[in-house]
Amino acid sequence: MRLRLGTRGSPLALWQARWVAAGLEASAPDIDVEIVPVRTTGDRVVLRPLAAIGGKGLFTKELDQALLAGEIALAVHSLKDLPFRLPDGIRLAAVMPRGDPRDALVANGRSLSGLPSGARIGTGSLRRRAQLLHLFPQLQVCDLRGNVDTRLRKLDDGEFDAIVLSAAGLIRLGHAGRVSEYLPAETVVPAVGQGAVVAVCREDDRATSTALERLEDPATRAAVTAERALLEILEGDCRVPIGGYGVVDNDRLCLHGLVASPDGRTIVSDQTTGPGADPASLGRRLGRRLLDRGARAILDDAARHGA
């Protein structure tokens, strides 16, 4: 059984694709995986903030098109890049075991609290920007795009005093030694799905779906299902700073949620715990609670004026 696996062409995306391919080939002797790099709009447009050019779907649209056209059998994504509504005909077939969900500071050994007033800190995420400004308003938070190696190079070239990236991405690419500080998920709430790798396939492709189910991690699936249900209630995308992070402990699931104004001045956060067997209901409940506590006003303001 030969499977064509579509992926973005960045070093991190290729690492994730090879990891999934290795898992598939190890799961059954008759599976042979061919990795097919696909360049997405988000990869081509690197000089403008994501929020200004259309949001998360920019990293998935071309892969979705190739999947629906039958050019590939599956696509591998970082879950945080996947919109909460998938195109018709595509299903989330497998959620792999989650990596480190936290954000990580790379600052040549300095901590976030140790950065001087006015220090330039780079990030491409409105969510990170808002939370950093809320905690440390004396910092200059500047836009930073590009793959992991590009961002590290810009730091090394002196364009920034520090940068914040996904811990999982740094670890997977062998850059854990560059991390100055891991930011606690309770202090800087991660993006929905951060650290999780997923595979999607066509809804009518039973053979590929069955092969992918062997890679499924139920605990990660439960956690990210709650997070994505939270995101759906908030109708959020990367134009509004939103965080969501679920943790499964035995049969219980604890979910943290956050909505912030882009300038970081207003933060609405909460958490809830409930049965892990019904993660979507837990996520929807927390989403409605955040809306009632002030998130609706933030989201309405973003809709009127842009993030």
E strand or H helix that includes residue 203: none
Number of domains in the chain: 3
Judgement on whether residues 17 and 4 belong to the same structural domain of the protein: yes
What is the percent of the chain with per-residue pLDDT over 90, rounded to a whole number?
Answer: 85
Same domain, 284 and 225: yes
Q: At residue 104, does pLDDT exceed 60?
A: yes
Same domain? 154 vs 285: no
Domain that holds residue 254: 217-307
In a domain, 280, yes or no: yes
Q: Is the pLDDT of residue 278 over 60?
A: yes
CATH code of the domain containing 262: 3.30.160.40
Do 262 and 200 share a structural domain? no
Q: What is the pLDDT of residue 84?
A: 83
Q: Let me know if residue 191 belongs to a domain.
A: no
Candidates 64, 81, 103, 205; catalytic one: 81
**Residue 188 domain-assigned (yes or no):** no
pLDDT in tens, 71-90: 999 999 999 989 888 999 99
The answer on 114 and 170 residing in a single domain is yes
Residue 81 known to be catalytic: yes
DSSP letter, residue 294:
I
Q: What is the dihedral of CA 212, 213, 215, 216, to 10 degrees?
A: 130
Query: What CATH number should be reported for the domain holding residue 92?
Result: 3.40.190.10
* Global confidence as pTM: 0.91
Asked whether residue 207 is domain-assigned, the answer is yes
Residue 126 parent element (H or E): helix 126-135
Q: Which two tokens stand for residue 227?
A: 């997070």
- Same domain for 212 and 258, yes or no, is no
Q: Is residue 167 part of a domain?
A: yes
